[in-house]
């Protein structure tokens, strides 16, 4: 096993959180190694190929991971265990490349609302759920939201009356609505709702030496052809590298966090791009591998002081796995409501995020990202023919006539919705893989019915000739499983009490003094919002703490 | 300069080249990677039922069979045996019941057979090893949609047939801000 | 003695092979290349094309047309036939092969080639990507290659270094920097079907735009040509109504790169839709197809 030169910091995973952490540490003068199991994303490797895009993944995953090398296990309701790849919906896949999901995301840049940090206080305990307050408040995070917005680049305005107060304005003006956004915004205003232009991690004007958005259709699920979408791969990671202090080690799979006799993390054991086992030591380690892979890495790091995995002496690691059920409604219009000016989602309302009678939380509603032709061929109201002339006619007649209002529902965290490591199945490198088990809370389906009925009301008011709802309340049995998906969160919960949480309010693992987590894992609750900006803001806050205490 | 070993190697290659005509009796034989010409004929008829031609191209014109042939070879090798078993069993059924293979049956008869496959009514007593008529049908429909509506780089959607039907400008007509 | 025998046998074998190969090159391709499944579809489209009277070797060359280079290339093809499971759709010209073909285009189409050389389209990669003024404003990205470098095999990061300041950026391969970025094959497909009845004759006086449906756009994303009469017509908007935009195939071809913004507004972004009294005119009504020259200058065509 080769030993590398000791560094001050290691960051495992170059996604939304890890990229930010590497930047903060390196610019503060800390010698840092940033590990990534994938490579640098290449636009030309997939271009606008719907069948391998992050949205569909029919033939392959454009941004990794390789299907054959990274299996997972899905535990069915009856306990049977299936080995699955990223081709399966229940794999809960996150892109494996520098930038990870921030390369191909739809780039909505939401700040959570005050209530999102105080769910238990606001709504009370929910039976069967581990719903809780965060150990920090919106005000603790506000400066870091600003930092993320300015350093990574967000376009937006103050059109959302429900947004929590902000100190600094957005660095770029908001995007204009597309045709359906403009029309549905008018309908919403007529209904007394409060539509606004969605804040986006995309350039509405040229910013940071990169071009303005060209309103490409193949945006969400794809890399940007003109580099106008801001991910960590084209913002903070290049800044980190330019310091000369941050080395990005791609195609390296970290197998284990190494622990010394004092119970501190001494470094990582990893497999380099040639499959050779190596060790890298450091003073401090930040794990940012996504809610599933971070939990897996901690659970796979067993030592005498942490026999059940690092930070897992209280059996908390991997629990409370959450994501977002996407719910809402679709409506067919008798005129072309879509102008296909990308990426589709431009208009949102936050009227239903909180304080809905009988509902814990809620969610935003937005007009949706465009479906490309194959996705559209799979999307039909119940009872429509799945093939033949009638299917073709539907496709031809309705492609530009489908209006949608969709949003992520605030999910109720579940103790038993969890990531474990499988006792038998191992990946290409012989590392035990993620096993996913548990289910969603029954209240989630109730909440989806609520939000989708609101979406349907809007579409009916808009004059849709036919509407149907996406409630997710009748999951086919094959989709039994915990929530997660690309918004996966919660598996290393932040909190004051080591009996119910994994990290403290600075995202430091409770009983390991030099191990931090900077990804969705630490989120106590996942909001009724896309979580990426919150993950970035937390990573800024955590890394600043590391710089102040460990440099 | 060539050394002796290289020279012999290349001579063999070149004389192989001269012998080419003799070893390719049926060019159709090599049109597909996975399927025999007979299997392909049946699949072409099935796909055309899934997306029929009208005033715009259907699955056959869009070359969906080449997508499926290519996709199962490269990406879904496990489905090859299911396709082969499904096609053979379907043909056996058609010959037994109607006296001729699927692709030669009248359109309406083909549609009826496929509807029965979809609903699970088609008797699956003979053949259908590793695949039921219903699962064969859903696999076929899914792959036909991918071949017709996916990008042409995988063999189907010839000349962007489906994008043109949807009046989608592909490649995207959008300027880059300055020229 | 042993050496001599080898030498004689080798010479004999070589001359038999050579004469065999020369004959092979001059017989009907139906009996030779087109026997192979990889080649037969291309042979069929060639038969339908305007170039049906041009032999395969006139464009593709033989094993000896460019010395060791072509010998290596053609023997590689034979080996690939036996050892690679390739189909016609898998076979593409490399950028180098494409440039070879382009040189051969110029042998017959001299006037067109000369026109192209004096046009703004005869840019090299170096001229496109090392434009300091542009680079200081905006970093080159992957999609530049959609129009400027359709055949480039790689992406922007393999083409050039984008580290540091714009003045530090450079194209890695000097040879690449000198290659033309927009060539004949960007807008033409040699194998494209072209019925004899529509071919232009020397005495033909009809507008070139009516005669030019058989240009083809090279779509970098799918690595394939698309006949321009199959391009989706685009409605160009002027104010709230649609501008009278030409939808002839030639203009649609130009529009692919000289494109408007995503709301397809006339004059926006890179759009050059003629407006005012020139509305509805095809690009080729004013511009010569290869030199892009206009017979007279109409300075306000694209704005009024």
Three-state secondary structure of A472-534: CCCCCHHHCCCCCHHHCECCCCECCCCCCCCECCCCEECCCCCEEECCHHHCCCCCCCCCHHH
Confidence of residue C67 (pLDDT cuts 50, 70, 90): confident
What would the two tokens of residue A105 be? 């995301």
Chain C nearest-CA distance from A122, in A, is: 44
pLDDT at B92 (0 to 100)? 95
Residue of C143, C144, C218 best to disrupt the A interface, most CBs of A under 10 A: C143
Which helix (H) or strand (E) segment holds residue C97: the answer is helix C95-108
Measured in angstroms, the CA of B51 and the nearest CA of chain C are apart by 20
CA C63 to chain centre: 23
Alpha-carbon span A500 to C288, nearest angstrom:
75
* pLDDT band (50, 70, 90) for residue C237: confident
Distance in angstroms (rounded) separating the CA atoms of residues A232 and A252: 18
**Residue A190: C-alpha distances to residues A162, A354, A404 (Å):** 18, 21, 18
DSSP one-letter string for A220-251: TTS--TTS-B--GGGTHHHHHHHTT-EEEETT
Nearest CA in chain A to C259: A214
Interface of A with C (CB under 8 A): 40, 42-45, 47-49, 206, 209-211, 214-216, 223-227, 339, 341-342
Contact B145 A58 (CB under 8 A): no
The pLDDT of C40-44, averaged and rounded, is: 84
Contact A317, A295 (CB under 8 A): yes
Quick one: tokens of B1? 């300069």
Spatial separation of the C-alpha atoms in residues A176 and B177, rounded to whole Å: 16
Q: How far apart are the first and last CA of chain A?
A: 28
Residue C81: other Cβ atoms inside 10 A: 18
d(CA A259, CA A281): 10
User: Strand ranges (DSSP E) for A310-360?
Assistant: 326-332, 347-349
Best of C135, C136, C137, C138 to mutate (most A CBs within 10 Å, chain A): C138
Average pLDDT estimate for B83-108? 96
- Contact (CB<8Å) C157/A40: yes
Q: Chain A to chain B, count of Cβ pairs less than 8 Å apart?
A: 81
pLDDT at C207: 47
C142 touches chain A (CB under 8 A): yes
Residue A421 has pLDDT above 60, yes or no: yes
pLDDT band at B7 (very low <50, low <70, confident <90, very high): very low
C120 Cα distance to chain centroid? 16
Q: Is the pLDDT of residue B2 over 50?
A: no
Distance CA A277, CA A429 (A): 9
CATH number for A229: 3.50.50.60
Nearest to C24 among B18, B27, B163 (CB): B18
Which CB contacts under 8 angstroms, 24+ apart, belong to A241-245? A241/A26, A243/A26, A243/A27, A243/A29, A245/A26, A245/A29, A245/A30, A245/A31, A245/A32
Least confident of B11-20, B37-46, B127-136, C272-281: B11-20
Contact B37/C at CB under 8 A: no
Mutate to test the interface with C, among A39, A41, A45, A47 (most CBs of C within 10 A): A47
> What pairs with residue A330 in β-bridges?
A404, A468
Question: A386-400 burial by CB neighbour count: b if 16+ within 10 A, else e?
Answer: bbbbebbebbeebbb
Subunit contact A399:B154, Cβ cutoff 8 A: no
Which C residues, 3 through 42, put their C-beta within 8 Å of a C-beta on chain B? 6, 10, 13, 17, 20-21, 24, 31-32, 35-37, 40
- Can you give the pLDDT at residue A340? 86
pLDDT tens string B129-160: 999 999 999 999 999 999 999 999 999 999 99
Is C194 in contact with C49 (CB distance < 8 Å)? yes
The reported pLDDT for the residue numbered A477 is 44
Query: How is residue A433 written in tokens?
Result: 């893989």
Count of Cβ atoms closer than 10 Å to residue C168 Cβ: 9
- pLDDT value of position B19: 46
Query: Which chain A residue is nearest to residue C268, measuring alpha carbons?
Result: A214
CB contact (8 A) between residue B21 and residue C143? no
Statement: residue A474 has pLDDT above 80: no
Q: Are A364 and A110 in contact (CB under 8 A)?
A: yes
CB contacts of B49 in chain A (<8 Å) are 387-388
Residue B160 touches chain A, beta carbons under 8 Å: no
Between chains, do B149 and A389 touch, taking CB under 8 Å as contact? no
- B107 to chain C, minimum CA–CA distance in Å? 29
Binned at pLDDT 50, 70 and 90, residue C58 comes out as confident
Burial class (CB in 10 A: 0-12, 13-18, 19+), A211: buried
Mean local confidence (pLDDT), B22-51 = 82
Interval A301-312: pLDDT, tens: 999 999 999 999
**Can you state the angle between helices B133-149 and B107-119, rounded to 10 degrees?**
110
Report the pLDDT averaged over residues B54-68: 96
CB B80 within 8 A of CB B34: yes
Inter-chain CB proximity C234 and B171 less than 8 Å: no
- Whether B1 shows a pLDDT value over 50: the answer reads no
φ/ψ region of C200 (left if φ > 0, alpha if ψ in -120 to 50, else beta) reads beta
Q: Tell me how far apart the alpha carbons of residues A263 and B96 are, in angstroms, rounded to a whole number.
A: 74
pLDDT > 80? residue A198: yes
pLDDT at A398: 95
Count of Cβ atoms closer than 10 Å to residue C69 Cβ:
13
Rounded CA-CA distance A140/A135 in Å is: 10
Task: Output B177 or C272, whichever has higher pLDDT.
Answer: C272
**Would you state the pLDDT for residue C215?**
86
pLDDT of residue A89 exceeding 90:
no
Percent over 70 (pLDDT), chain A: 98
The residue segments making up the domain with residue A476 are: 2-550
Q: What is the mean pLDDT of residues A130-147?
A: 98
pLDDT-derived band at C279 (thresholds 50, 70, 90) equals confident
| Mean pLDDT across chain C | 83
Q: Which of residues 143-172 of C touch B (CB under 8 A)?
A: 143-144, 146
Residue B167 has pLDDT above 80, yes or no: yes
Closest chain B CA to residue A339: B168
Interface of B with C in 41-70 (CB under 8 A): 66, 70
pTM, full prediction: 0.92
Q: In this predicted structure, what is the pLDDT of residue C209? A: 44
Q: Please, what is the average pLDDT of chain A? A: 94
Is pLDDT at C303 greater than 70 in this prediction? no
The arithmetic mean of pLDDT across residues C215-232, rounded, is 89
Determine the Cα–Cα distance for residues A62 and A218; give it in Å rounded to an integer: 13
Whether B17 shows a pLDDT value over 90: the answer reads no
Q: Which of the residue ranges A117-126, A205-214, A428-437, C171-180 would you say has the lowest mean pLDDT?
A: A205-214
Chain C residues with CB under 8 Å of A223 CB are 142
Domain count within chain A: 1
**Contact (CB<8Å) B141/A386:** yes
Residue C109 pLDDT exceeds 80 = yes
Judged against a pLDDT cut of 50, whether residue A228 lies above it is answered with yes
How much is the pLDDT for C199? 53
Q: What percentage of chain A has pLDDT greater than the value 90?
A: 87
What is d(CA B79, CA B72) in angstroms, rounded to the nearest whole number?
6
Query: Among positive and negative, which fits the CA dihedral B170, C176, A97, A73?
Result: positive
Nearest residue of chain B to residue C9 (CA atoms): B8
Would you call C134 helix, strand, or coil by DSSP?
helix
Q: Which residue has the higher pLDDT, C83 or C298?
A: C83
No. of helices (H) and no. of strands (E), chain A: 11, 18
- pLDDT value for A426: 97
Residues 6 or more apart whose Cβ sits within 8 Å of residue B38: B101
Instruction: Give me the residues of B, 1-60, that contact A with CB < 8 A.
Output: 49-52, 54, 56, 58
- For the beta carbon of residue C51, count every other beta carbon within 10 angstroms: 18
Rounded to an integer, the average pLDDT of A335-344 is 90
| pLDDT single digits (tens) A371-405 | 999 999 998 888 899 999 999 999 999 999 999 99
Rounded average pLDDT over C234-244: 79
Whole-number pLDDT of residue A98: 97
Q: What tokens does C228 get?
A: 């321009």
Q: Do the Cβ atoms of A245 and A236 come closer than 8 Å?
A: no
DSSP A360: S
CB A221 within 8 A of CB A374: no
- The pLDDT tens digits of the residues spanning A426-471 come to 999 999 999 999 999 989 989 999 999 999 999 999 999 999 998 8
- Mean pLDDT for C181-194 is 88
* Nearest chain B residue to A340, by CA: B168
Give residue B23's pLDDT.
46
CA C210 to chain centre: 21
């Amino acid at each position: 096993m080769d030993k590398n030169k000791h560094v001050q910091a290691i960051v495992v995973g170059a996604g939304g959180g890890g990229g930010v952490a590497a930047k903060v540490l390196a610019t503060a003068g800390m010698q840092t190694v940033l590990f990534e199991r994938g490579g640098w994303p290449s636009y030309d490797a997939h271009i606008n190929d719907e069948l391998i895009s992050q949205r569909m993944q029919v033939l392959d995953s454009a941004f990794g991971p390789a299907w054959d090398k990274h299996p997972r296990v899905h535990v069915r309701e009856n306990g049977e265990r299936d080995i699955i790849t990223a081709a399966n919906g229940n794999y809960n896949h996150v892109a494996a490349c520098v930038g990870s999901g921030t390369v191909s995301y739809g780039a909505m840049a939401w700040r959570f609302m005050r209530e999102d940090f105080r769910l238990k206080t606001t709504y009370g305990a929910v039976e069967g759920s581990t719903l809780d307050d965060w150990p920090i408040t919106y005000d603790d995070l506000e400066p870091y939201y600003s930092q993320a917005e300015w350093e990574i680049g967000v376009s937006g305005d103050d059109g959302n009356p429900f947004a929590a107060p902000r100190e600094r304005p957005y660095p770029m003006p908001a995007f204009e609505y597309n045709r359906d956004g403009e029309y549905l915004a008018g309908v919403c205003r007529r209904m007394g709702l409060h539509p606004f232009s969605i804040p986006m991690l995309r350039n509405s004007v040229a910013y940071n030496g990169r071009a303005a958005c060209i309103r490409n259709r193949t945006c969400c699920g794809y890399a940007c052809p003109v580099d106008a979408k801001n991910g960590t791969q084209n913002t903070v990671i290049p800044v980190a590298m330019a310091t000369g202090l941050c080395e990005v080690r791609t195609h390296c799979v970290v197998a284990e966090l190494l622990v010394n006799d004092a119970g501190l993390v001494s470094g990582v054991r990893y497999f380099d791009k040639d499959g050779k086992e190596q060790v890298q030591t450091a003073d401090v380690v930040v794990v940012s591998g996504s809610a599933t892979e971070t939990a897996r890495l901690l659970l796979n790091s067993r030592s005498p002081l942490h026999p059940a995995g690092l930070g897992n002496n209280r059996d908390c690691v991997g629990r409370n796995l959450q994501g977002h059920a996407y719910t809402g409604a679709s409506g067919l219009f008798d005129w072309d409501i879509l102008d296909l000016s990308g990426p589709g989602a431009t208009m949102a309302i936050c009227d239903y995020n909180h304080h809905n009678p009988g509902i814990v939380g809620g969610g935003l509603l937005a007009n949706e990202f465009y479906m490309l032709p194959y996705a559209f061929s799979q999307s039909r109201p119940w009872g429509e023919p799945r093939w033949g002339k009638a299917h073709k006619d539907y496709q031809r007649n309705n492609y530009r006539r489908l209006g949608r209002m969709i949003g992520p529902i605030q999910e109720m965290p579940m103790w038993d919705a969890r990531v474990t490591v499988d006792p038998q199945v191992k990946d290409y490198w012989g590392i035990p893989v993620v096993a996913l088990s548990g289910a969603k809370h029954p209240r989630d389906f109730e909440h989806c019915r609520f939000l989708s009925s609101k979406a349907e009301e809007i579409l009916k008011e808009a004059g849709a000739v036919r509407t149907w709802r996406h409630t997710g309340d009748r999951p086919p049995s094959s989709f039994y499983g915990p929530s997660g998906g690309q918004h996966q969160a919660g598996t290393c919960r932040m909190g004051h009490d080591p009996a119910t949480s994994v990290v403290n309010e600075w995202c430091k693992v409770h009983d390991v003094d030099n191990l931090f987590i900077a990804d969705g894992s630490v989120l106590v609750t996942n909001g009724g919002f896309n979580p990426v900006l919150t993950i970035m803001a937390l990573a800024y806050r955590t890394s600043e703490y590391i710089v102040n205490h460990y440099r | 300069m060539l050394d002796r070993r290289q020279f012999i190697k290349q001579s063999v290659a070149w004389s192989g080249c001269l012998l080419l005509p003799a070893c390719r009796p049926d060019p159709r034989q090599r049109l597909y990677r996975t399927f025999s010409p007979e299997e392909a004929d049946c699949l072409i008829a099935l796909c055309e039922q899934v997306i029929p031609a009208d005033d715009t191209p259907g699955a056959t014109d869009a070359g969906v069979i080449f997508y499926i042939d290519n996709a199962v070879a490269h990406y879904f090798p496990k489905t090859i045996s299911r396709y082969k078993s499904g096609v053979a069993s379907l043909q056996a059924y058609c010959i037994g019941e109607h006296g001729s293979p699927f692709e030669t049956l009248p359109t309406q008869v083909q549609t009826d057979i496929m509807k029965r496959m979809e609903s699970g009514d088609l008797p699956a007593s003979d053949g259908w090893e590793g695949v039921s008529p219903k699962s064969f049908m859903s696999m076929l429909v899914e792959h036909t949609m991918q071949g017709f509506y996916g990008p042409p780089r995988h063999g189907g959607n010839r000349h962007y047939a489906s994008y043109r039907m949807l009046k989608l400008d592909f490649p995207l007509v959008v300027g880059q801000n300055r020229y | 003695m042993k050496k001599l025998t080898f030498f004689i046998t080798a010479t004999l074998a070589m001359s038999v092979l050579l004469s065999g190969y020369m004959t092979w090159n001059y017989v009907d391709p139906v009996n030779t290349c087109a026997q192979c499944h990889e080649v037969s579809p291309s042979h069929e489209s060639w038969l339908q094309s305007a170039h049906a009277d041009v032999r395969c070797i006139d464009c593709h060359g033989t094993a000896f047309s460019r010395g060791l280079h072509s010998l290596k290339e053609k023997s590689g093809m034979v080996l690939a036939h036996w050892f690679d499971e390739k189909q016609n759709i898998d076979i593409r010209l490399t950028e180098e092969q494409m440039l070879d073909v382009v040189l051969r285009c110029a042998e017959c189409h001299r006037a067109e080639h000369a026109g192209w050389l004096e046009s703004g389209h005869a840019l090299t990669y170096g001229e496109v990507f090392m434009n300091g003024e542009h680079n200081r404003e905006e970093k080159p990205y992957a999609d530049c290659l959609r129009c400027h470098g359709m055949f480039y095999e790689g992406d922007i990061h393999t083409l050039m270094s984008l580290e540091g300041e714009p003045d530090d950026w450079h194209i890695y391969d000097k040879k690449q920097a000198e290659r033309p970025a927009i060539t004949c094959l960007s807008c033409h497909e040699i194998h494209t079907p072209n019925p004899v009845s529509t071919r232009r004759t020397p005495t033909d006086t009809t507008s070139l735009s009516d005669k030019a449906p058989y240009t083809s756009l090279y779509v970098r994303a799918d690595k394939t040509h698309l006949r321009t009469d199959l391009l989706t017509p685009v409605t160009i908007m002027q104010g709230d109504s649609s501008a009278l935009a030409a939808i002839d195939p030639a203009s649609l071809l130009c529009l692919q790169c000289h494109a408007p913004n995503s709301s397809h507004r006339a004059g926006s972004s890179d759009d050059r839709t003629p407006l005012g009294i020139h509305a509805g005119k095809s690009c080729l009504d004013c511009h010569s197809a290869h030199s892009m020259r206009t017979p007279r200058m109409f300075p306000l065509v694209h704005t009024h």
